[in-house]
Amino acid sequence: MSRPLPLTRPALAVVLLGSPGSGKGTQARQLSEALGIPHISTGDMLRAYVRQGHPTGAAVEGKLKAGILVKDEVVNALVVERLAQPDAARGFILDGYPRTRAQAETLSSMLAARGVQELVIHLIVDYNVIIARLTGRRQCPVCGTVYNLVSKPPKVPGVCDLDGAKLIVREDDRESVIRERLEAYEHQTRPLLDYFRGKGVRVSEVEASHDSPEVIFRKIEALIRES
Ligand code: ADP
């Protein structure tokens, strides 16, 4: 059920941190709906630019396919522009941003200037579960619905339940690329947990390997509402 955050509380930036495949996107979508604040995914924004043939899309397409991080300046500019939209005034959920120290610093100074409270939620997922999720992921190229061969298979193998389109493997879900994405996370993004803690930002750990998405959602929602 949707219960928007009270208007009286300070604006809130929820940062979902976790490895690729930790379920950030799934949780962010549900939280956005329940709390009435936008879901901001730099991965989705970059993929939309590629689909639309936008000049930024042409510049980043190769990096996305190879699982390599896009330049900080490009991603920071996207986020600065997005956070200036009126719907982000009361708060927002960041999914896939920040991913590097430079991005975290840009975000912190933006939020400090606007008096926005930060809350970091770290989704912890076992390595083997991550690999099973990423290698089993299939997507509908028409409506974007994401399936998983193990945890959420389509009714008819290989076919989207909603529109009958043939499901595809996202280019960056190929095994060699998955390795690249996990390494980028380990070396560049995981250290941000210490960066945030060092600045006195609250970092809440949520074990997200085995519980259902619904149970994990309840835990995160409670952390946010009591923050
Ligand atoms: P995942 O978290 O599953 O890897 P995303 O959709 O968040 O998927 O990101 C997909 C790709 O988009 C990344 O591998 C990277 O190339 C690019 N990307 C997304 N967000 C960022 C970011 N904050 N900084 C740099 N590159 C990014």
Residue of 24, 82, 90, 133 marked active site: 24
The pLDDT of 57-83, averaged and rounded, is 94
96 CA from centroid of ligand 1 (Å) = 6
Active site residue 24: yes
* Mean pLDDT (whole number) for 47-54: 92
Q: Phi and psi at residue 209, in whole multiples of 5°? A: -80, -45
Task: Give whichever of 38-42, 49-53, 110-114, 177-181 has the largest mean pLDDT.
Answer: 38-42
The closest residue, in CA terms, to atom 10 on ligand 1 is 43
Measured in angstroms, how far is the CA atom of residue 70 from the centroid of ligand 1? 7
| C-alpha span between 190 and 194 (Å, rounded) | 8
Which pLDDT score is estimated for 92? 96
Residue-level pLDDT at 197: 96
- Provide the H-helix boundaries in 67-174: 72-83, 101-114, 127-135
Ligand 1 pocket check for 43: Cβ under 6 Å: yes
pLDDT for residue 5 is more than 70: yes
Catalytic residue among 29, 63, 65, 170: 170
Instruction: Name the residue among 49, 67, 71 with its Cα closest to residue 58.
Output: 49
Give the per-residue pLDDT at 78.
Answer: 95
Q: What is the dihedral of CA 85, 88, 90, 93, to 10 degrees?
A: -170
Longest CA–CA separation in the chain, Å: 51
Candidate of 70, 133, 178 to mutate for ligand 1, largest count of ligand atoms within 8 Å of Cβ = 70
pLDDT of residue 159: 97
Known catalytic residue: 29? no
Question: Phi-psi category of 157—alpha, beta or left, where left has phi over 0 and alpha has psi -120 to 50?
Answer: beta
> Residue 174: its pLDDT value, please?
87
Protein residue with least CA distance to atom 19, ligand 1: 43
Mean pLDDT of 50-59: 91
pLDDT digits (tens, 9 = 90+) for 116-151: 999 999 999 999 899 988 999 999 989 888 899 988
Arithmetic mean of pLDDT over the chain? 93
Question: At 1, is the pLDDT very low, low, confident or very high (cuts 50, 70, 90)?
Answer: low
Q: Which of 76, 99, 178 to mutate to test the pocket of ligand 1 (most atoms within 8 A of CB)?
A: 99
Cα(72) to ligand 1 centroid in Å equals 11
